[in-house]
Structure 1
Amino acid sequence: MAEILFYHLERQPLEKVLPNLLERSLARQWRATVQASGEERLKALDDHLWTYSDDSFLPHGTDRDTDAATQPVVLTLREHNPNASAIRFLVDGAPLPADASAYERICVLFDGQDQDALMQARAQWRQAKEAGHALAYWQQDETGRWQKKA
């Protein structure tokens, strides 16, 4: 069973949090897949990961690239695992994969200021719990540090 982590974004936007989590994943020698739910978000993330920091970037591609299977990070709108990743990030309400056990870890990142996103994350939590996955809920404290709440 996959470990599924829910990240409740309240103090920092996705564009700040995701690169850090991807860097940590790559440091573990894990390949990663990021699934968005819309073409505009996918394009914005693709651009952002090249420019989010003055001193680094995250090597990545999209599942449309011919070399997607060799990329350490792949951005997609679909449920497949194009680069045999160990970790999958779901953003903007992307659904849990049908075969979550294909991953070591799945991270659901959701906007804590968006009521629809909160409701969807709660539904995904129930779905993952019913499937028997190990779950964790992370929320940022006042200083921006992640605190495990459940």
Structure 2
Amino acid sequence: MFTSVSEFIGEYRMESNATQKLLDVLTDESLQRQVGEGYRTLGQLAWHLVHDDSGMLQRIGLKFQAPPASAEPPQSAVAIAQAYRTTAASLLEAAAGWSDGRLLENNDMFGQQWSNAYTLYAFLKHEIHHRGQLTVLMRQAGLPVAGMYGPSKQEWETMGIPAPTK
């Protein structure tokens, strides 16, 4: 959990940059890829990262520019990547206007009382969770995957080092 707004900003900046690396690799053709019937497509999942669909951050008073959750995902991978870039920058700007004291405030979240610090933490973990799903679909679509917390298989190979198999 975060104890200062600057701590959240630093973490979100790092994590959103990692997400952006993945979104920038998507192709229009890959957006229709899905793991199975009844699951989100790669495009729907990518678009899910662009907006605050549950309103978590809006509910705690963090106002930033993002497409509405009801908006249909664009059919353009470039448009999704650009929308994420704009949303992430707007979120960072809004967070910079907060004081550390705002982190201690509690709000109703899914029928529970969450501190704003915990809500920011949960929001970040939510993005990381879906980013993991995104990488699986990207691999299935034959797209290169950037390493998040270390090199990916392709990045090891580019460095001329065999990727660890165990």
**TM-score calculated relative to the size of structure 1:** 0.30
More RCO (CA 8 Å, sep 6+) = 1
Where is the strand percentage greater, Structure 1 or Structure 2? 1
CA radius of gyration, larger in: 2
Where is the helix percentage greater, Structure 1 or Structure 2? 2
